[in-house]
Amino acid sequence: MNQDDKAIPNLSPQKSNRWDAWSKRVERVRDMRFSFDGNVSDAGKASSKSGYNADNVSERDFLRMEGKPGAAGYTIKEAVAITRSVVPGQSTLALHLIAVVLDRAICSICKSQVGPASNFSDAEGSVDWKAIWAFALGP
């Protein structure tokens, strides 16, 4: 057995299924919208893809809401885009949103690992904070 064979990971069907399930959990976070206090305001609804681009100023707000102008909150992708704003207040609010979401995620992950669910009450028990953490810090 040469060294090239050792570099190839052993992907059994069981490991592949777990990876696919994890990938789907993380990809669901793409459509989650967060309020400024870190709560999930709208989860699981697919965004409509449109032909708008960021160069068209008149359609900027429609693009920011990913085709849903009535949607509340911001996605993580939108918050990251707003951090690049030249308006200090906008970038500050976007960084605050990202920090609050990451703080809630790490707190929820730690609470779930410390003890049983009866030791704490999480009003958003159905929110997958591990997937949110992975999506926010992923590539």
Give 127's pLDDT tier (boundaries 50, 70, 90): confident
Residue 20 has pLDDT above 80, yes or no: yes
Domain ranges of the chain: 31-137
Query: Does 124 or 72 have the greater pLDDT score?
Result: 72
Higher pLDDT, residue 92 or 37: 92
Q: What is the mean pLDDT of residues 76-97?
A: 91
Q: What percent of the chain has pLDDT over 90?
A: 25
CB atoms within 10 A of CB 58: 7
| pTM of the model as a whole | 0.64
pLDDT at 6: 56
**Between 117 and 88, the higher pLDDT residue:** 88
Q: What is the mean pLDDT of residues 67-93?
A: 83
| Three-class DSSP labels, 3-18 | HHHHHCCCCCHHHHHH
Compute the half-sphere exposure of residue 66: CA atoms within 13 Å on the CB side of its CA. Answer: 20
Say if residue 72's pLDDT is above 90.
no
pLDDT digits (tens, 9 = 90+) for 21-65: 989 999 999 888 898 888 888 544 444 444 445 455 445 555 555
Beta strands in 25-126, from DSSP E residues, in sequence order: 33-34, 40-42
